[in-house]
Amino acid sequence: MAALMAILKRDLALAYRQRAELMQPMLFFILVISLFPLAVGPEPKTLQLIGPGVIWVAAILSSLFGLERLFRDDFQDGSLEQLMLSSTSLPAAALVKVLAHWLTSILPLIILSPLLALFLHLSEPMYWALLKTLLLGTPLLSLIGAIAVGLTVGLNRGGVLLALLLLPVFIPLLIFATSAVESASMQLQYNAQLAILGAMFLFSLALAPFAIAYALRVSQT
Amino acid sequence: MTVLSVTNLSVVKRDRLLFENLNFAVEQGGLLYVKGQNGAGKTSLLRVLAGLVEADSGDVYFCQQNIKDDRENYHQNLVYFGHKLGINLTLSAVENLQYWCQQHQVNISVDTIFHTLAQLNLVGLEDIPVANLSAGQQRRVALARFWFKQEARLWILDEPFTALDTQGIELLSIQITKFLGGGGSVIMTSHQALRLEYPTDELILEYRI
């Protein structure tokens, strides 16, 4: 347990010291979303129609941006080797690293989302639905993304490959999340979509740590 | 007592057979010196011995126990020092070592860390990001691990003397001899001639095409 706390503390401290690198995906997120009202025009109806989709697409793309950070430095400087050679369980350590990554690079996006929802003229029920889907869906992005990062960390310039591997996997997430917000815009129930997102999240929470650990071991060869 | 033994070990890397059917054992208090040209497979061998990579065939035993079966116990008794230092360049020397100790469940006070760093001639450099240190100094920070993990019974060192000055080489040599004298076992590679006053077993790997 102490070892896992140490990982969390270290990763948070590192994130704080590498603020500039962390800002990049966040700026990308803000830029994409703030450009849409300018490009499409300020018509509230149009914006409401495309808003949830725009926010989700921007969230997925900007999370892909920062994803490589998760294991890249640790792999290159050998910290990962030393982690594997400790008695700390690797799946648990991977889960803690994913948590640290989510806290530092995704949570700020969620905190910014009310402001961006305002840009896109989302109504209040739509915003709450969006927030719920983001809270359930983005940990899934981090967990599944970490498997792909684990697999590609040994390759130089795995960035494009990472996107190609991950985007198809994220499509169901995107469909259910935006459909929840769409239902909310019509004052309908959206519990079903949330339940599916929750199920996907719990499923990946249970299995992804082992897959990440396996991917990291494979990358050592 | 045999600490580490290897049976019929073969490793293939990028369609090239590095070595096959390797058999050897390292006794308690034994020093095994792995020799060979560049590309002969020394690093690959050490990584297999450490349990980072699986061999294509053959097994590695730690105290008669296959390391695949009891990874945790094996790693508790092992210190590995590879080409990659395992030091984060953004963190300071003390932070790096504290993190490593917590990771490996080694209870060490901050004072001991400062003291060890002073022994390694890093006074005044404990609190600045490791990126600002020279290559040799960064290696010294990483080598401080060998001063901390007391319960370890096996050290695996891959080219530990690279980039160290003569004083650094001597410090490490003394530490290795002390560890061997206390009943520890060491497996190492080095392109520098060993200057350890200690009986050495040699394992020579041939470069194969």
Looking at residue A44, its pLDDT comes to 87
Looking at residue A198, its pLDDT comes to 96
What is the spatial distance between Cα B74 and Cα B61, in angstroms, rounded to a whole number? 9
User: Which chain B residue shows the shortest CA-CA distance from A19?
Assistant: B90
Residues 6+ away with beta carbon under 8 Å from A2? B102, B105
Residues (pLDDT < 70) of chain A are none
Q: Do the chains contact at B105 and A3, CB–CB below 8 Å? A: yes
> In Å, how far are A220, A221, B22 from B11, measured between CA atoms?
14, 11, 10
Looking at residue A41, its pLDDT comes to 87
User: Which chain A residue shows the shortest CA-CA distance from B81?
Assistant: A82
Summarised one tens digit per residue, pLDDT across range B13-26 is 888 888 888 899 99
Q: Smallest CA–CA separation between A169 and chain B, in Å?
A: 29
What is the spatial distance between Cα B87 and Cα B130, in angstroms, rounded to a whole number? 8
**B146, B147, B153, B158: CA torsion to nearest 10:** 10
Q: Does A16 touch chain B (CB under 8 A)?
A: no
Widest CA span in chain B: 51
Q: Do the chains contact at B105 and A86, CB–CB below 8 Å? A: yes
User: Which chain A residue shows the shortest CA-CA distance from B139?
Assistant: A77
Helix (H) or strand (E) holding B154: strand B154-158
Residues 6+ away with beta carbon under 8 Å from A5? B102
Q: Does A20 touch chain B (CB under 8 A)?
A: no
Q: β-strand B57-62 against B78-81: which pairing, if any? A: unpaired
Looking at residue A161, its pLDDT comes to 86
- Long-range CB pairs of A6-11 (<8 Å, 24+ gap) are A6/B98, A6/B99, A6/B102, A6/B103, A7/A83, A7/A88, A7/A93, A7/A96, A7/A97, A7/A100, A7/B103, A8/A96, A8/A99, A8/A100, A10/B88, A10/B91, A10/B95, A10/B99, A11/A96, A11/A97, A11/A100, A11/A101, A11/A104
Set of chain B residues whose Cβ sits within 8 Å of the Cβ of A87: 72, 75-76, 104-105
Q: What percent of chain B has pLDDT over 90?
A: 58
Q: Do the chains contact at B95 and A10, CB–CB below 8 Å? A: yes
> In Å, how far are A27, A40, A41, A122, B41 from A53, measured between CA atoms?
18, 14, 16, 11, 52
Neighbour tally for A119: CB within 10 Å:
19
Q: Does A189 touch chain B (CB under 8 A)?
A: no
Among candidates B148, B183, B144, B179, which has minimal Cα distance to B164? Answer: B144
Q: Residue B86: which of A13, A17, A78 has the nearest Cβ?
A: A78
Asked if residue B201 lies in contact with residue B30, where contact means CB atoms within 8 angstroms, the answer is: yes
What is the spatial distance between Cα B139 and Cα B160, in angstroms, rounded to a whole number? 8
What is the spatial distance between Cα A29 and Cα A54, in angstroms, rounded to a whole number? 10
What is the spatial distance between Cα A60 and Cα A77, in angstroms, rounded to a whole number? 28
Set of chain B residues whose Cβ sits within 8 Å of the Cβ of A97: none
Looking at residue B209, its pLDDT comes to 75
List alpha helices for B144-205, DSSP H.
Answer: 166-181
Q: Do the chains contact at B75 and A85, CB–CB below 8 Å? A: yes
Domain ranges of chain A: 2-219
Q: Do the chains contact at A81 and B80, CB–CB below 8 Å? A: yes
Residues (pLDDT < 70) of chain B are none
Looking at residue B201, its pLDDT comes to 86
Looking at residue B15, its pLDDT comes to 85
pTM for this entry? 0.91
Mutate to test the interface with B, among A8, A87, A96 (most CBs of B within 10 A): A87
DSSP string, A25-85: HHHHHHHHHHHHHHHH-S-HHHHHHHHHHHHHHHHHHHHHHHHTHHHHHHHHHTHHHHHHT
Looking at residue B115, its pLDDT comes to 93
Asked if residue A148 lies in contact with residue A86, where contact means CB atoms within 8 angstroms, the answer is: no
Looking at residue B154, its pLDDT comes to 93
User: Which chain B residue shows the shortest CA-CA distance from A9?
Assistant: B99
Mutate to test the interface with B, among A69, A76, A77 (most CBs of B within 10 A): A77
Looking at residue A75, its pLDDT comes to 92
Looking at residue A22, its pLDDT comes to 87
Helices A159-185/A44-67 angle, 10° precision: 150
